[in-house]
Structure 1
């Protein structure tokens, strides 16, 4: 049997960051995952640290938009008919929380996390020597119609005034200068200036893991379902034996229920699945930056592995077989705006984003178990919020004043 101060369950970016933040503060930490860290949902994201993302992605409120989504032929959303009964409660509450007034209140509670996303990542990037993986050029939304362009620019103005984010409006000629191989199908663009981009999200996760191990942390394979309570803390079967610790952090993303449910906690967490594929550029084509085709709902990113195309949200059972229809739809459109060559992956990658109906993560102490902590439900912003989540959880475990007030993310909002 091995002893530690803290066990962290989950080797995604949130779990890795939490383990690292604890190790940086002198704690003996064991990070437990069923596989290799960084290989699940954290592997396939768009690679953005979204400092501008103060407003979480809401459920459409306009009847026309809902009706268009119900046609189930879009790139930005897709659903499995058979899954709808099992996700209907989540979707109903997600829609309710996305009402304009409630959504604005949620954004104000969510913004402090986002505000520290760049600074907390930067500390770890510097210590891990991972600067070569980072681009600091922001990212760009492309608009096909003047109406969409003007509406989004008005919203950007509001966010700039209320939350201090920076942006730049781009004319078609400005866009052509930045992306000369992009088609001229767009009426303009909006470049968010503050965000950073990650050229290889897996490599960044691995750099953080190496730093964690350098600080004395241990990474072990294990099944989170083997977690059990002891008289003085928690025990898990991992590696070649068992590990005991006073505290345990559940950072299992969409699989957190394998621990929380047996302990009597019922979190309403839905799953938005997403897909990606890498492509070679065709001929001498170059993609210089991260581009979102806003009216179609897919993103193109110049990753180290090739040009990554990512899709929107698929509402399905977490473990259902892949159905990459959105990827096929997105690829057809993407090829019309940028010269893409052959696919570089053997098959489409799929990941599952853990989403709460109020669009905020679950961060904090479990209400009915001593030494049990939760850090999951980050939806589209797991990469963005990994280090800041890890920092506030580490500070809370150590009994320190947290970087920000985390009461808005408390588990009690689901479990009294």
Structure 2
């Protein structure tokens, strides 16, 4: 089979990239060892985070670092055995999270976030996936006035600098918005710009169907079987061989299976996360996406039930599941919302690929013709899928990208 481009990885980033190329008239083959959207893209909190212009940083206060070191929290957990392997990543992540560096990174990161809603909207409308989308923002609720005041101060700064919209919530506002939520909270913050997704997997599949409608093909195959040819790139997939001029590596935390053999060394860490779906008791209803800010877990009203998601687990990518954060979160969540029985037979786990400067790797490989990268989106894979796909597709076909992507170039890691 001859194609214009091969896209490796069928998560939201890879599907979006393949779709954006197909929308520009290119013949594209999308390749993954599993079905589309079955890895990390399956289990997130379902937010298109237009407000998320500041990426999640590493704590800078030593008191907070000490509390995390106790390893008993919901928002972060780590494997002792993984620490020697991830020390270099964590050290650079911590350094990039200092105030001046973090603010500089946010300014470079913001253009991607600013186009997250508009680029999703184009694909949602073309794919006929409007029924999956809720345009009501999401809410943080606070247990203490100190946390509330600190987050509101930051929200005002973000509104002034980046134009994001929010609304302060009183306890009465929270009770009106979420009658089934307990009265444990002193206030809240409603981020008004973001959209929510009732089923992130279903949205990925809707984009895939649009991709196939435009002539694209999905094949099962192992990215390790990629090889360079005199005219481009070749992979054994499905029941045959695919040749193409260009190849995009969008394999998330598994991107190193291709980049390392080609001589590229990216320092990419993994933040693993868990979720579980629940029923409700006593006719309770969760109306919107809600985060218990101090405890660090999320409740989301998905099609499958109430999805409870955890924070970050620092572990080796392929280590066995250790859903202790989920158990901790469930214990707390049951005190503030009447969760019913677990609906899944086993906790879901996904692995978020994270760079130490908190920005994805997007752009052309410096030493190989026709090789492109699109990975490392950390907590914002769903948010940034379509805009990443668009700027990559524009660069590949020779158009001027929607935004300047030089800040995300692979060379910044010495690649």
Structure 1 partner of 2:258: 259
Match of 2:268 in 1: 269
Aligned CA-pair RMSD = 0.4
Tell me the TM-score normalized by structure 1: 1.00
What residue number does 1:293 align with? 292
Counterparts of 1:7-406 in structure 2 under 5 Å?
Answer: 7-406=6-405
1-structure distance, mates of 2:353, 2:326: 20
Q: What secondary structure sits across from 2:218 in the alignment?
A: strand
Q: After superposition, give the CA deviation of every residue in 1:133-183 in whole Å (9 maximum; x if it has no partner).
A: 000000000100001001100100000000000000000000000000000
Give the unaligned 5+ runs of structure 1: none
Q: Deviations over 1:231-290 (max 9, x none)?
A: 000000001011000000000000000000000000000000000000001120000000
> Which whole-Å CA distance do the structure 2 matches of 1:379 and 1:250 have between them?
16
Distance 1:400 1:394 in 2: 8
The whole-number CA distance in structure 2 between the counterparts of 1:147 and 1:270 is 32
- Distance in 2 of aligned mates of 1:55 and 1:141: 16
**For residues 47-72 of structure 1, what are the alpha-carbon distances to aligned partners after superposition, in whole Å with 9 as ceiling and x for unaligned?**
00000000000000001100000000
Query: Using the alignment, how far apart are the partners of 2:156 and 2:46 within structure 1?
Result: 25
Distance 2:15 2:290 in 1: 28
For 2:218 and 2:346, how far apart are their aligned partners in 1? 29
SS in 1 for 2:63: helix
Q: Distance in 2 between matches of 1:348 and 1:282?
A: 20
Aligned partners of 1:222, 1:271: CA distance in 2, in Å? 23
Give TM-score, length-normalised by structure 2.
1.00
1:313-353 deviation digits (Å, cap 9, x = unpaired): 00000000000000000000000000000000000000000
| Structure-1 separation of matches of 2:38 and 2:353 | 16
| Residue aligning to 1:412 | 411
**Distance in 2, Cα, partners of 1:24 & 1:415:** 33
Deviation at 1:307, TM superposition (A): 0.1
Distance 2:151 2:245 in 1: 48
Q: Secondary structure at the match of 1:36?
A: coil
Deviation at 1:75, TM superposition (A): 0.1
Distance in 2 between residues matched to 1:384 and 1:147, nearest whole Å: 29
Name segments (4+ residues, structure 1) moved above 3 Å: none
C-alpha separation in 2, matches of 1:295 and 1:404:
35
Q: Which digits, 9 at most, give the CA deviation of each residue in 1:94-122, with x for residues without a partner? A: 00000000000000000000000000000
Q: Distance in 1 between matches of 2:74 and 2:345?
A: 21
Deviation at 1:415, TM superposition (A): 2.6
State the distance in 2 between where 1:281 and 1:342 align.
Answer: 7
Mapped to 1, the partners of 2:201 and 2:264 lie a distance apart of 31
